[in-house]
Structure 1
Amino acid sequence: MAVEIVWHLHSCIELIAGGKSLLIDPHDGGSLGVGFTPPTAKPDYILVTHEHYDHNAVNLFSAKGGRGPLIIREREGSFELPPFRVKGVKLPHDEFEGRLRGFVVAYKITVEGLSLAHLSDLGRPLRDQEAREFGSVDIVFAPVGGVYTLPPSKVIDVVDMLDAKIIIPIHYWLPGVQLPLEPLDVFINHARNFKVLQLEDNRVVIDKHDLPGERTILVLQPPGRRRS
């Protein structure tokens, strides 16, 4: 029993388990820069953390079998999308308690014995009460590009609060991305106590028994680009 994790660039993550696909924060490709394409997923469910243009391209997913995916937008509290159990936690998109960019709803997802947290565009370190809302998690999808999110130097503080074993970086600059984000290396330089594993492509399958003994950053490759 395992979960397949697919990175579709930027903040778009797909989780596949129990024959179902859950897609988080789809973009339309063009909102990132010239030459990027939308996610290739065929989701059963879509979670939107907030309504910014590079996170909410749900209109791209046509109905399959007469029925499109179930779309959940910024939903707080606990709910189920079988086999996924989800908890939405409202967080500020900036360091000014939402006064600059508003709020996001980050999601904790539990499936196949694993707990995973997608932190959306978290704008500042977590407060103690917010961390308690999540509890301990195994895998964190963390925005590490700064500028619109918390600084790369503060991401590790959040990971420590959640006691996560694995970080999968999202929302950072890549060649061709027109958003003024920091590249991944800036974050890596602040994570010297973490093991860094560069994976071969944009997907990985993780079983709860595969969780590493030491804290690890898993770097997924952009879709269509295999690591040489």
Structure 2
Amino acid sequence: MRLSTTLGRTVFGLLATLACLTPARAQADEPGCRPEMASQRLPIQRAALAKDEVRLTFVGHATFLIETPGGVKAATDYNDYIRPRETPDIATMNKAHSTHNSRSPDPAIKQVLPGWDPTGKGAAKHDLTLGDMRVRNVPTNIRSYSGSTDFDGNSMFVFEIGDLCIAHLGHLHHPLEPGHLRALGRVDVVLFPVDGSYTLDQEGMIEVLKSVQAKLMIPMHFFGGSSLSRFLARSQDLWPVERRTGAEITISKATLPARPTIIVLPEN
């Protein structure tokens, strides 16, 4: 029995490794494949949120779970490799790599929102309200594999819950223009990539953060911590940094920092 169990674990590990090497996964060419799926994780119990609170959990890579007081859950850049423990009600996705979208989203998800138009007819257009959460998108461009511009291939998704506005910049590849900033509107919390190579370079991302002017800035899309460390070194004279030990943070309008602050969350 012990030999059978060990063999089963070994086979599972080999299959998980091969999943990272299939052609569908290879196109992602980003480090950090994690074959942990939602079905392998047990549900967890969380404290109830007050009517003016929102809970953010950094699941990993570019995926956050956003929870409202009314119980609505949204997962950003939902994909087949890194998923929250709970099935979200809303899943946003982006096109750049397979670690930012899903070929087989959980059928229990009520709204799946691709950040690009799969028909290729133009920009994705989303603006919906589910319970106490409103979700809308602001399209941006990305670089294609050939090096050309894939117009409207990415979306920044904006989540409005009560009087809080949270913007997830997705796989942002270029600086923001005045039209993007007008479309975003007031942003209280911004979730932004800091790798500096697959997405916008770090100096460019600093300029984006200056223009967005969010009180709370949470980095994502960093690999092994080195890119995050480089970004924090570049920005240390601009904004204070708080490192949290837990992947969850509960925020409200009243608890936002008085001045723009970067808060680093570990992966869940």
TM-score (norm 1): 0.82
Distance 1:99 1:80, change over 3 A: farther
Higher helix share: 2
List alignment gaps of at least 5 residues for structure 1: 30-36, 176-181, 224-228
Q: Among 136, 152, 159, which residue is 1:87 paired with?
A: 136
**Counterpart position of 2:57:** 6
Q: CA shift at 1:100, angstroms?
A: 4.3
How far has the Cα of 1:61 moved from its partner? Answer: 2.5
Provide the residue aligned with 1:47 in structure 2.
92
Q: Distance in 2 between matches of 1:115 and 1:47?
A: 16
- State the Cα deviation string for residues 25-82 of structure 1 (Å, max 9, x = none): 12333xxxxxxx543232111111336310112625253xxxx432121242532233
Query: Residue 191 of structure 1 is aligned with which of 227, 235, 256?
Result: 235
SS of the residue aligned with 2:61? coil
Once the two structures are TM-superposed, the CA of residue 154 in structure 1 deviates from its matched residue by 1.6
Q: 2:114 aligns with which of 63, 73, 79?
A: 73
Give the secondary-structure state (helix, strand or coil) at the position aligned to 2:250.
strand
CA–CA distance in structure 1, aligned partners of residues 112 and 243 of structure 2: 32
Once the two structures are superposed, the pairs formed by residues 29-44 of structure 1 within 5 Å of their partners are 29=81, 38-44=83-89
**Residues 109 and 115 in structure 1, CA contact (< 8 A), matched pair in contact too:** yes
AA aligned to 1:71 is V
| Alpha-carbon offset, residue 170 of structure 1 | 0.8
Residues 100-124 of structure 1: CA distance to partner in whole angstroms, max 9, x if unpaired?
4552011111102110100001101
Give the alignment partner of residue 167 of structure 1, picking from 210, 217, 221: 217
Counterpart CA distance in 2 for 1:183 and 1:173 is 6
Distance 2:169 2:86 in 1: 20
Structure possessing the higher radius of gyration over alpha carbons: 2
CA deviations on 1:138-182 (whole Å, 9 max, x unpaired) are 11000110211101122121112112111110111127xxxxxx6
The residue number in structure 1 matching 2:101 is 56
Aligned-residue offset at 1:99: 2.6
Deviation at 1:190, TM superposition (A): 1.7
Give the equivalent residue in structure 2 for 1:178.
none
**Paired residue type of 1:23:** A
Q: For each residue in 1:163-218, what CA deviation from the matched residue of structure 2 results, as whole angstroms up to 9, or x when unmatched?
A: 2111110111127xxxxxx6201111121221101011111000110010121111
CA distance in 2, matches of 1:45, 1:206: 20
Q: Using the aligned pairs only, state the percent identity.
A: 26
Greater RCO, 1 or 2 (C-alpha within 8 Å, sep 6+): 1
8 A contact 1:76–1:105 mirrored in 2: no
Give 1:9-158 correspondences, 5 Å limit.
9-17=60-68, 18-29=70-81, 38-50=83-95, 52-57=97-102, 59=104, 61-63=106-108, 68-74=109-115, 75-94=124-143, 99-100=148-149, 103-158=153-208
SS in 1 for 2:207: helix
Unaligned segments of structure 2, at least 5 residues: 1-51, 116-123
CA contact (8 A) 2:159 2:167 kept: yes
Query: Contact 1:26–1:57 (CA<8 Å) still a contact in 2?
Result: yes
Q: In the TM superposition, what whole-angstrom CA distance separates every residue of 1:70-96 from its partner, at most 9, and x where no partner exists?
A: 21212425322332112211101249x
Paired positions, count: 204
| Counterpart-to-counterpart distance in 2, 1:208 and 1:70 | 27
